[in-house]
C-alpha cells in the first residue's frame, strides 16, 4: 500500500463527515508532513500518514478520542 492508495480508502470516510473541501485540507496536511521525511521507507511513511490523520485536531474534535482510536486501528489494517 502507498499513500495514494490509503488516501483513496480513507477519503470517503472523511468526506462523509467533513465534506470535500475540508477533507482535502486534512489529507493534504498529512501528505505534506509525510513528504518531508525522505529517509523513511514507504511503510513507515504510510503509518505516519495515518497517524497524522488521526491526530488532526479537526478529526479528533469531530469524532472524539474513542472513534479516532477505532478508525486508526481500521486504517492501520489497510497496510
pTM (2 d.p.): 0.90
Q: Number of structural domains, the chain?
A: 1
Residue 39 lies in domain: 3-76
| pLDDT above 90 (res 38) | no
Quote the pLDDT of residue 37. 77
Q: How many angstroms separate the CA atoms of 71 and 43, rounded?
A: 18
Angle value at C-alpha 14, between 4 and 38, nearest 5 degrees = 35
Over the stretch 7-20, which tens digit does the pLDDT of each residue have?
A: 999 999 999 999 99
Q: How many angstroms separate the CA atoms of 47 and 2, rounded?
A: 10
| pLDDT above 90 (res 50) | yes
Amino acid at each position: 500500500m502507498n499513500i495514494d492508495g490509503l488516501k483513496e480508502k480513507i477519503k470517503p470516510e472523511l468526506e462523509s463527515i467533513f465534506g470535500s473541501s475540508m477533507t482535502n485540507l486534512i489529507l493534504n496536511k498529512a501528505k505534506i508532513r509525510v513528504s518531508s521525511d525522505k529517509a523513511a521507507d514507504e511503510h513507515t511513511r504510510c503509518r505516519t500518514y495515518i497517524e497524522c490523520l488521526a491526530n488532526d485536531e479537526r478529526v479528533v474534535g469531530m469524532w472524539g478520542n474513542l472513534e479516532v482510536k477505532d478508525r486508526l486501528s481500521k486504517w492501520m489494517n489497510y497496510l
